[in-house]
Amino acid sequence: MDERLANAENKAMKPLISTYVSLLLLGFAGGSYGQSFEGTKPLAEYGDNVSGFPDYQRDEYISSWIDEDGDCQNLRHGMLILHSQREVTFTNSNRCAVTEGLWLDPYLGKLITMASDLDVDHVIPLAYVHANGGADWSISNKQRFVVDETNLLLVDDGENQSKGAKGPSEYLPRKEFQCAYAQIWQLVATKYELEVPHTDSRVLLNISTECSGL
pLDDT one-digit tens code per residue, 59-109: 889 766 776 666 788 899 999 999 999 999 999 898 999 999 999 999 999
* β-sheet bridge partners, residue 111: 104
Predicted confidence band of residue 55 (pLDDT cuts 50, 70, 90) = confident
Q: Which residue has the higher pLDDT, 156 or 38?
A: 156
pLDDT of amino acid 53? 58
What's this model's pTM, rounded to 2 decimal places? Answer: 0.77
Per-residue pLDDT averaged across 43-62, rounded? 62
Predicted confidence band of residue 213 (pLDDT cuts 50, 70, 90) = confident
Collect all residues with Cβ–Cβ distance below 8 Å to 205 and sequence separation of at least 6: none
Residue burial 188-206, b: 16+ Cβ < 10 Å; e: rest: bbbbbebebeeebbebbee
In terms of Cα–Cα distance, which of 58, 90, 93, 62 is closest to 77? 90
Q: Which residue has the higher pLDDT, 125 or 24?
A: 125
In terms of Cα–Cα distance, which of 90, 125, 91, 85 is closest to 105? 85
Whole-angstrom Cα distance, residue 155 to residue 79?
11
Whether residue 194 contacts residue 33, with contact meaning beta carbons closer than 8 Å, is answered with: yes
Q: Which residue has the higher pLDDT, 31 or 194?
A: 194
